[in-house]
Structure 1
Amino acid sequence: MAPFPPFEPHGPRRGSRLREIPLRLIIPNLVTVMAVCAGLSGVRLAFEQRFELAVGMVLLAALLDAVDGRVARMLKAASNFGAQMDSLADIVNFGVAPALVLYAYLLDRAGAFGWIAALLFAIACCLRLARFNVMLEDPDRPAWMADYFVGVPAPAGALLVMLPVYLGFLGVPLNTTFAFVGSGFAVAIALLMVSRLPVYSAKTRGTRIRRDIVMPMILGIVLYVALLFSFTWHTMAATAIAYLIFLPFSAQAYGKRARREEQAGDTPVE
């Protein structure tokens, strides 16, 4: 008898049994594992007072998490095992790691209030991910609602909650007042994550774009990446603030869409 159970990507009773697993089925899971390693390494670096590297590792974890699902689809390697693993990894990468990095950098100056804020954010991330998984299995949810998240998604929440860290890197004094402000901000982001605020998602827009916007899009991406490498924390702070400004417009667009769908007799306005 082998010392380890066989790898069953679709569960013990689903899918075809393979004597040997193709490497393409394992690659997305390896990307997910590397994302977890990056997130946990960010926590270690934070407690070693190497905060810029710590934030960089959390951002790398977010990037790898965004990539693993796409890699799985490109390689036709999506599996139940990978989906469950990705969901569990998100709790570490978008809940635990950002909360601990933020606490080690700033919130510990607020004492128990800072720890409570970090704790609430991590728990809110878990609740947000659990609700997202449940909603994926809802057969009665209208198709057009897939264009919107319910609440701020976990990856965006992780990038937003570290806005005080970006500002600290830009020279904002790390005093007790700023720590309490950061604690309140972390709680506010936690509430946005578990709220019913509709947030636009571009995932359902497909992979095709209009020919007339290809060149501007490429130039825009190049400009953003250049700014990110040249003025990293300015760019991250501006990105977080722009995302917060975008949220009311997203809710307004959702309301208009819901009214149109109601008039068409598709679904009632929530």
Structure 2
Amino acid sequence: MTESKRKGIYLLPNLLTTAGLFSGFYAVVSSMNAHFEAAAIAIFVAMIFDGLDGRVARITNTQSEFGAEYDSMADMVSFGIAPALVAYNWGLTEMGKLGWLAAFIYVAGAALRLARFNTQIGIADKRYFQGLASPAAAALVAGLVWVGTDYNVVGNDYSIIVAAITGIAGLLMISNFKYNSFKEVNWHGKVPFVAILVVLLIFVVVATEPALVLFLVFLLYAVAGPINTFRTVQKIKLEHVVGDPEEDADFTEENKKQSNEPKD
């Protein structure tokens, strides 16, 4: 009986991970059929499932090594391969080699980002992400495609912009720029009643122009990483932008020390 339990997998969290994987695969297929709006939306749906599977696993105490590895593989499809192919099919096909190279930079960045994240579990500063998280990078690229299709923009007419955003998103993922993780937010605490009204207002704003609002939100979040990094260090060094794991660890410790120092 013990042996059979050890070989089994937990259904609910892995079912949510599978739903996210399906959404990423659906995005690729939709972009191949020139259904770019559906492809972009599918990537955002994958983000929802990606946020749910880990929380459900913790709430139900169903974490497992298999689930963590499966989630990482699903993220590579949904937030690595899918956004790159959607961007390529929408606005990079007429650039030739430069087009698929920009898409590959994104894919490679996502793979390296996920690998680095998996090796830093338990030792990284939980307040920040080191480099742009792959779901946020995917949202940036998918948001661009969604906005373009929403406003009837032909992607290949602006292929330079598409290539730049796709490539920069890939590079930001492997950077050492620090991004707020928002994990320090107490979601179980009480908030003033006006906070509920603010949340409702946010939903209304998003519902009016979801493509444009979501793209701008993740664009600002992507820009916030370099700003936060340059603002918290006195002298910019190469390891503040990119570096090996040992340099990254030193950078984390430096940020911790500076965050505890009194401000003028």
Matched, 1:100 2:81: no
Which of structures 1 and 2 has the larger relative contact order (alpha carbons within 8 angstroms, sep 6+)?
2
After superposition, give the CA deviation of every residue in 1:136-170 in whole Å (9 maximum; x if it has no partner).
154xx5xxx22111111111111112343133124
Unpaired stretches in structure 2, ≥5 consecutive residues:
235-252
The more displaced of 192-201 and 246-255 is: 246-255
**What letter is aligned with 2:135?**
P
> Whole-Å Cα distance in 2 between the matches of residues 259 and 175 of structure 1?
40
Residue 13 of structure 2 aligns with which residue?
A: 28
Report the equivalent of 1:49. 34
Question: Residue 168 in 1 paired to residue 153 in 2?
Answer: no
Quick check: 2:148–2:155 contact (8 Å CA) kept in 1? no
- Deviation per CA, 1:244-267: give whole Å up to 9, x if none: 3433443256549946725969xx
Gaps of 5+ in 1: 1-15, 266-270
**Equivalent residue number for residue 177 of structure 2:** 197
Counting matched residue pairs gives 242
Match of 1:70 in 2: 55
RMSD: 2.8
Find 2:200's aligned residue among 191, 215, 222: 222
| Cα contact 2:26–2:42 (8 A) shared by 1 | yes
**Cα–Cα, structure 1 residues 165 and 263, in superposed 2: closer, same or farther, change >3 Å?**
closer
Pick aligned residue for 1:239 from 187, 205, 217: 217
Please state how far the C-alpha of 1:105 moved relative to its aligned partner.
Answer: 1.1
* 1:136 alignment partner, SS class: coil
TM-score (norm 1): 0.79
User: Match for 2:103 among 111, 114, 118?
Assistant: 118
Change over 3 Å in CA distance of 1:47–1:163 after alignment to 2 = same
**Counterparts of 2:183 and 2:59, CA distance in 1:** 15
Moved more, 221-230 or 107-116: 221-230
| Pick aligned residue for 1:149 from 123, 129, 137 | 129
**Shift of the alpha carbon at 1:36?**
0.4
SS, match of residue 179 in structure 2:
strand
CA distance 1:175–1:133, change in 2 (3 Å)? closer
User: How far is the alpha carbon of 1:237 from its aligned partner?
Assistant: 2.2
Instruction: Report the Cα distance in structure 1 between the residues aligned to 2:9 and 2:194, rounded to whole angstroms.
Output: 34
Q: Matches of residues 121-140 of structure 1 in structure 2 within 5 Å?
A: 121-136=106-121, 138=123
Give, in whole Å, the separation in 2 of the partners of 1:165 and 1:202.
26
Which portions of structure 1, spanning 4 or more consecutive aligned residues, are displaced by more than 3 angstroms? 18-21, 204-212, 252-260, 262-265
SS at match of 2:176: coil
1:172 Cα deviation after fit: 6.7
